[in-house]
Structure 1
Amino acid sequence: MNPVVHVLRRMGGRATTLLPLSLAIGLAFQNVASAARVLLWPLAVLLLMLALARMDWIRVRALLRRPGPAVLLALANLIVVPLIVWPIWQGLGLWPGLVAALCLSAMAPGIISAATTAAFLRLDSSLALLLTLFTNFLVPFTLPPLALWLLDLDLHVSAVDLSLRLALIVVVASAGAFAIRRWLGTRIMDEAPTLDGLSVIVLMVFAIPLMDGVVAQATAQPLKLAGFVVGAFAGMILCNLVVVACALPFVDRRVALTAGYCSGGRHNALLMAVLPASVDADIFLFIAAVQFPIYLIPTLLQPVYRHLPRP
């Protein structure tokens, strides 16, 4: 076996161990983190491309034959979850900026890496992919009115403009995934571990620019940043539990856990593109802080999902 392919396959099997390392790299090399910010968009496309290429399309087609449950879970993530968690955060007396950030995070769509990390955790990666795509296509119609209603925050962004930005990522990624599957042909399943390894590398590089400025914030406001990181962990776990509790009576355990996992991991970086410059700076601090649970929670939750049978 080619040594590079061997290394990639081993990396794919140790994703939850390697992902936290990328945060340390971004923190240790702040100049690299700053310079790498221009890579966020192409890395997001590449990550979704690999997830689409790696996907079990037989399972996806089966889900699409009855799309109702996936659409309902997506709407629950975007509408029901914010309505449940908003009064909880409001009642805790936290920093106003942290409350607003936690609520906005609960309104955000699923993070693009959810399908990739769900595969590492033995969850339903095909369902995770659909929930990611559905929430990203629906969020232009749910985020602006919810932000205005619950937070009195006018995002000044049209549904059409936001839809086009998100659709461009999906279209480019889909074209690349189609090319990969055509190139690999019948070898696609044999090469799945290699694609997993490539996804781990992309995830690790993706985390580095998100750490830009975090060291400066930690130096200037160490206690506040620590509070925001703890709040981000609590926010992800609460969103996860809300969806699992709502879904478990109606669907099987793997589907409920997958939907909960997707609800916990939100595309918070999208908020950077739609928030006005005049918004509370604490919200941008939260977007940096939430990267810690996004990259650490898969490792922490792995023991919970370890006993799920392989699909």
Structure 2
Amino acid sequence: MTALIFIARHGKVALICGLLAGLLLPDIAQVLRWRIPELVALLLLLTAFRIGLVETLSNLAELRRTVLAVLILQLALPVGVLLIVVLLGLPVTPLALALVLVMAAPSVTGSANFAILLNGDPAPALRLLILGTALLPLTCIPVFALLPGFGDISDVMIAALRLLVVILAAAALGFALRHWYAPDLSERGRKATDGLTMIVLAVVVIGLMSAVRPAFENDPVELAFWVVVAFALNFGLQAVAYLTLRRRGSPAATPLAIVAGNRNFALFFVALSPQATDPLLIFLGCYQFPMYLTPTLLRRLYDSR
């Protein structure tokens, strides 16, 4: 437990080590790429165990606000961007597609863990993850209606439902383990769980970085472009969301802002053609940089409250 608590205390360093390992160990990244679903399920289990069912559902009045947040983040934002593109008669370029897909996607599974690292409440982030994924089959319909020729929407629904089943099963098991074995989890136990979670997060990002090293070797200029886009989009969404929510006095400004910028847009790859997704594979890898550097580079923003 002492070692895990030490890792939890230096969680930001663990995340950076995962990014570096993804860049420097491409063979391991390719192997871990095929174990990402299992690692994500383990991450969700640990997060649910750490938070607990009681804390997650402690305020049912938050349910309405969570649903409203999902509709704004996953429906209003991407549809607004697409309407601007359509009204201006602009083509749906890979850049425009990347912007829309990120905004239309639900939270990444690690958002609650990022909230913990930034001294925020992880429960709202977990609620957003579950409800955002559950509502994705509905919120993505208008988005794909404005993206003609980009795939079958039923594929997205199937992928979202599959992810929802994994999320619910992993969360249920985590809640059950917490209820059975640690109903009164001590602060030391929480820190140890955070340390184990940091290890899993670091391993997950190694697999997600599998496309970055080849891109660096083949076309570093294109890679640099997508890195800039990833940071601007991720950090921009977080900053706007946090400053807006803080001005409104929201107690959940930190977890909501983290979710605003960190989205699981890879879900949509099952419905899009290879011609549309090939350029975005590099962006998917680049997107891990701002995601995993959020606790380090945006700490000053979130500490400004």
Instruction: Provide TM-score, normalisation by structure 1.
Output: 0.87
Deviation at 1:167, TM superposition (A): 2.1
Aligned counterpart for 2:195 among listed residues 194, 197, 201: 197
Deviation at 1:57, TM superposition (A): 4.3
Aligned counterpart for 1:262 among listed residues 259, 263, 277: 259
Q: Is 1:24 aligned to residue 29 of structure 2?
A: no
Check conservation: 2:44, 2:170, Cα contact below 8 A: yes
Distance 2:273 2:164 in 1: 22
Deviation readout 1:4-63 (Å, 9 max, x if unpaired): x11110111211222011111111111111111121001110111111111154443233
* Counterparts in 2 of 1:167 and 1:87: CA distance versus 1, 3 Å: closer
Distance 1:276 1:89 in 2: 20
* Counterparts in 2 of 1:256 and 1:175: CA distance versus 1, 3 Å: closer
Deviation at 1:226, TM superposition (A): 0.5
Deviation at 1:172, TM superposition (A): 2.4
The runs of 5 or more residues in structure 2 that have no matched partner are none
* Counterparts in 2 of 1:274 and 1:46: CA distance versus 1, 3 Å: farther
Distance 1:65 1:163 in 2: 26
Deviation readout 1:266-296 (Å, 9 max, x if unpaired): 0133233343334242122211111111111
Aligned pairs for 1:9-20 within 5 A: 9-20=5-16
Check conservation: 1:9, 1:197, Cα contact below 8 A: yes
* Counterparts in 2 of 1:276 and 1:67: CA distance versus 1, 3 Å: same
Distance 2:300 2:236 in 1: 18
Q: Is 1:149 aligned to residue 146 of structure 2?
A: yes
Deviation at 1:184, TM superposition (A): 2.5
Q: Which moved more, 1:266-275 or 1:237-246?
A: 237-246
Aligned pairs for 1:1-311 within 5 A: 5-55=1-51, 57-86=53-82, 96-150=93-147, 153-158=150-155, 160-181=157-178, 182-187=180-185, 189-244=187-242, 246-248=244-246, 250-252=248-250, 254-306=251-303
Cα RMSD of the aligned pairs, angstroms, is 2.6
The count of aligned residue pairs is 302
Deviation at 1:104, TM superposition (A): 0.8
Check conservation: 2:144, 2:153, Cα contact below 8 A: no
Distance 2:290 2:241 in 1: 18
Instruction: Provide TM-score, normalisation by structure 2.
Output: 0.89
Check conservation: 1:229, 1:290, Cα contact below 8 A: yes
Deviation readout 1:136-168 (Å, 9 max, x if unpaired): 111121224303315752344356523431222
Distance 2:270 2:164 in 1: 15
Identity of matched residues, %: 27
The runs of 5 or more residues in structure 1 that have no matched partner are none
Distance 1:16 1:89 in 2: 38
One-letter code of the match for 1:153?
F
Distance 1:75 1:95 in 2: 23
Deviation at 1:243, TM superposition (A): 3.0
Q: Which moved more, 1:96-105 or 1:235-244?
A: 235-244
Check conservation: 1:144, 1:155, Cα contact below 8 A: no
Distance 2:156 2:266 in 1: 18
* Counterparts in 2 of 1:17 and 1:232: CA distance versus 1, 3 Å: same
